[in-house]
Homo-oligomer: A and B are copies of this chain.
Amino acid sequence: MSELEGNCLVCQSGGPTAVINSSLAGVIEEALNHECIEEIYGGLNGALGVLNEDFIDLADESQQTIRLLKTSPGAALGTCRFQFKKQEDLERTLDVFKAHNIRYFFYIGDSECMAMLDRLDALAKSQGFEMRVIGIPKTINNDVPGTDHCPGYGSVIKHVATTVRELARDNEAIGKGDYVSILETQGRNAGWIAAGAALAKRRDHPHDPPHIIMLPEVAFEPEKFLADVQKVLAKEKFCLIVAGEGLVDMDGNYVAVSSTTTDAFGHVRLGGTGEYLRSLVETRLGVSARSCKLGIAARAAAHCASVTDADEAYLAGSAAVTQAVEHGKSGKMITLQRAEADTYKCEAGWVDLSEVASGIKQLPAEWINDDGVSMNFPFVKYATPLIQGEVQLAWEGGLPVFAKFRGARVDKLLPAYEF
């Protein structure tokens, strides 16, 4: 098959992760390997940058920057919560691509983005504009379907489980059967992140924290929760609870809503679940309780990122280029596939965008124990390989140094777009 010649464009979208830039580095370095790719453009702020022709020349960035990129949190190209909604947006996008001869479009984002990419791919085909559209999954929430797991997830649960191990030593020094500690994690509608805290518990060490994991999948009942806490305090010096921010009650209402505002997608902004549980414990049980809310600091915690996750994020990026260039694939999302083997092995694969578009991968109910507050061995077996290895940051003067693009702008070729 003859290779398609032209320029490539890569964008980042949605909430950043500790390793989304590693996927970007994978795209850039692999794109450099292929002569059919002429220019390597980065689109600023995801879909917004595409509509606005806000492109930078990534080949102009230094090798040092690309190396640092692999260990830098955030999204070096900027991100957005915006999706193409209107047909006009899709048509504008293709106009931009035609003007800049962009034949390869790599978009790093969550499952909502994949729906957008699928429509874009169909439109390009219908217009007879030959190009390759490939999605690269990312999210700390691990809820993208079609892939065994999602780049970004391993690092955030490594950070959460590490924090649990550390908090446990602190809590144990203080507690005398009268101390409750609550760690609130991100995770709007699924307990994938909170569940990851289960890795902190050593096998065959039933006393190890976390003692209670509160998942959005399990309806919150205050009386059961308080009884669970009391049960732990009767046996242990302290009770360490990990709670996903998106706990819901029996009626499906969020247990704690810290704000009446909603974000650009109309999602209720959550938070305060940890504080709510803390207050409930202090008021009802009369024991001391403290809460921590890692919030977005957890997804940004590159200093506690997983090598496995960072490497797989890079692999997803480079595989996107390989699939597009060498195999002529388009309309696909790159996946991570776990090989059937005794030891963990992960390879890149692909799935049709239409199969994953806007879908959500739930935390399997059968991985939650009957008690509703702990995870079983199949979950631990699934998640453990994802947190292996410690990413070494570049430290200077006691603090980490991260990549920042110099960002040489590409000239705009079209009239400005109103949207």
Chain A: residues with CB nearer than 8 A to chain B?
A: 12, 15-16, 45, 72-79, 158, 161-163, 165-174, 176, 181, 183, 199-200, 258-259, 261, 263, 269, 271-272, 274-275, 278-279, 282, 288, 290-297, 299-304, 306, 384, 387-390, 395, 397-400, 402
When distances are taken between beta carbons in the complex, the residues of chain B under 8 Å from A45 are 176
Please state if B398 and A297 are interface contacts (CB–CB under 8 Å).
Answer: no
Please give the distance in Å from A190's CB to the nearest CB on chain B: 19
Please state if A398 and B292 are interface contacts (CB–CB under 8 Å).
Answer: no
Copies in the complex: 2
Q: How far is the CA of A389 from the CA of B399 in the complex (A)?
A: 9
Please state if A74 and B173 are interface contacts (CB–CB under 8 Å).
Answer: yes
Please give the distance in Å from A375's CB to the nearest CB on chain B: 15
When distances are taken between beta carbons in the complex, the residues of chain B under 8 Å from A272 are 275
CB-contact partner of A294 in B158, B169, B200, B297, under 8 A: B297
Please state if B296 and A282 are interface contacts (CB–CB under 8 Å).
Answer: no
When distances are taken between beta carbons in the complex, the residues of chain B under 8 Å from A399 are 158, 161-162, 165, 199-200, 387
28 A-B pairs, CB-CB below 8 angstroms? A15-B174, A16-B174, A73-B166, A73-B170, A74-B166, A74-B168, A74-B171, A74-B173, A76-B169, A78-B173, A78-B174, A79-B174, A158-B399, A165-B402, A166-B302, A167-B300, A169-B402, A183-B297, A199-B399, A261-B288, A271-B275, A271-B290, A290-B295, A290-B296, A291-B295, A303-B304, A306-B398, A384-B397
Please give the distance in Å from A399's CB to the nearest CB on chain B: 6
When distances are taken between beta carbons in the complex, the residues of chain B under 8 Å from A72 are 169
Q: How far is the CA of A282 from the CA of B263 in the complex (A)?
A: 11
Best-buried of A73, A387, A389, A402 by chain B (most CB within 10 Å): A73
Instruction: Check A300/B390 contact, CB under 8 A, given A271-B291, A291-B295.
Output: no
Please state if A296 and B397 are interface contacts (CB–CB under 8 Å).
Answer: no
When distances are taken between beta carbons in the complex, the residues of chain B under 8 Å from A163 are 297, 300-301
When distances are taken between beta carbons in the complex, the residues of chain B under 8 Å from A302 are 166
Please give the distance in Å from A68's CB to the nearest CB on chain B: 11
Q: How far is the CA of A261 from the CA of B173 in the complex (A)?
A: 21
Please give the distance in Å from A64's CB to the nearest CB on chain B: 17
Give me 10 other A-B pairs in contact (C-beta within 8 A), A16-B169, A161-B398, A272-B275 excluded.
A73-B169, A74-B173, A76-B173, A169-B300, A183-B297, A259-B282, A290-B296, A293-B293, A294-B294, A384-B397
Please state if A301 and B78 are interface contacts (CB–CB under 8 Å).
Answer: no
In the complex formed, the residue of B with least CB distance to A298 is: B292
Please state if A303 and B303 are interface contacts (CB–CB under 8 Å).
Answer: yes
Q: How far is the CA of A163 from the CA of B159 in the complex (A)?
A: 12
Please give the distance in Å from A10's CB to the nearest CB on chain B: 14
In the complex formed, the residue of B with least CB distance to A237 is: B78
Please state if A295 and B297 are interface contacts (CB–CB under 8 Å).
Answer: no
Q: How far is the CA of A303 from the CA of B278 in the complex (A)?
A: 26
When distances are taken between beta carbons in the complex, the residues of chain B under 8 Å from A395 are 390
Please give the distance in Å from A110's CB to the nearest CB on chain B: 14
When distances are taken between beta carbons in the complex, the residues of chain B under 8 Å from A304 are 303-304
In the complex formed, the residue of B with least CB distance to A287 is: B261
The 9 closest A-B pairs by CB, nearest first: A74-B169, A292-B295, A75-B173, A387-B398, A166-B300, A170-B300, A292-B297, A293-B293, A74-B173
Please state if A167 and B297 are interface contacts (CB–CB under 8 Å).
Answer: yes
When distances are taken between beta carbons in the complex, the residues of chain B under 8 Å from A269 are 288
Q: How far is the CA of A176 from the CA of B397 in the complex (A)?
A: 30
CB-contact partner of A79 in B12, B168, B173, B183, under 8 A: B173
CB-contact partner of A74 in B158, B170, B400, under 8 A: B170
When distances are taken between beta carbons in the complex, the residues of chain B under 8 Å from A74 are 166, 168-173
Please give the distance in Å from A268's CB to the nearest CB on chain B: 13
Q: How far is the CA of A292 from the CA of B271 in the complex (A)?
A: 9
Instruction: Check A400/B162 contact, CB under 8 A, given A167-B297, A271-B291.
Output: yes
Instruction: Check A170/B388 contact, CB under 8 A, given A275-B271, A297-B294, A399-B199.
Output: no
When distances are taken between beta carbons in the complex, the residues of chain B under 8 Å from A258 are 275, 278-279
